[in-house]
Amino acid sequence: MSIITIVLSVLLPPLAVFLQHGIGSKFLISILLTILGFLPGVVHALYVNGK
């Protein structure tokens, strides 16, 4: 994971997931988690992009 990906995962989690994986189930889950609560979205983005 690059520094840019980490920063985007913290500031804009859906954008970071989109840039790494495109539009798909991971992106939609990231949007849903970010809407439900910002912290779950950040954790999901870091987890998905760190894999």
What residues contact residue 43 under an 8 Å CB cut-off, 6+ apart?
33
pTM, entire model: 0.88
- Is residue 50 a contact partner of residue 17, using CB atoms and an 8 Å limit? no
Please state the φ and ψ torsions of residue 16, each to the nearest 5 degrees: -65, -40
2-50: pLDDT as tens digits: 899 999 999 999 999 999 999 999 999 999 999 999 999 999 999 999 9
d(CA 51, CA 19): 14
Domain count, the chain: 1
Domain that holds residue 13: 3-50
Q: Find out whether 48 and 21 touch, Cβ atoms under 8 Å.
A: yes
